[in-house]
Amino acid sequence: MDWVTALPPRGGKSYNSCLVIVDRYSKTPIFLLFHKDDTAMDTALLIWNRVISHTSLFKNIISDRDPKFTSALWTNLHKLLGTKLSFSTVYHPQTDGLAERMIQTLEDMIRKFCAYGL
């Protein structure tokens, strides 16, 4: 999982960040829109309602060291669910390479849409 932030505001809800989740086995990306000031609880609820309830629990999640994922809420949630939360090494984006590549693709698509005024 990784974040894309500072998105241009569009639409009535003006989301300005996107959480990118990539399934390591199927390589399927999942994009969840957020407000930058959403809390760790908001993030957990949206992941539960939009991802886990439709797929299944993840065995292992690799994320950067975003404060939302290092909070006590996430630590306790993973203990309760029996899943493992791993953090990528600082300045070593290859650890979470699938999400990083998907973010690059997403940013390229956004640039093209903005260039054509869509």
Among 9-13, 26-30, 75-79, 99-103, top mean pLDDT goes to: 26-30
- What pTM was estimated for this model as a whole? 0.67
Superfamily designation of domain 2-115: Ribonuclease H-like superfamily/Ribonuclease H (3.30.420.10)
pLDDT (0 to 100) of residue 16: 85
pLDDT (0 to 100) of residue 101: 81
pLDDT (0 to 100) of residue 94: 57
Q: What is the mean pLDDT of residues 88-102?
A: 67
pLDDT tens sequence across 18-41: 888 887 778 888 888 888 888 888
pLDDT tens sequence across 46-77: 888 888 777 776 777 777 777 777 777 777 77
pLDDT (0 to 100) of residue 104: 84
Q: DSSP E strands: which ranges in 1-118?
A: 2-5, 17-22, 29-34, 60-63, 84-87
Phi, psi of 18 (to 5 degrees): -140, 130
Q: Scan for tokens 């650890």, then name that residue.
A: 95
Compute the distance between CA of residue 73 and CA of residue 92 in angstroms, rounded to an integer.
25
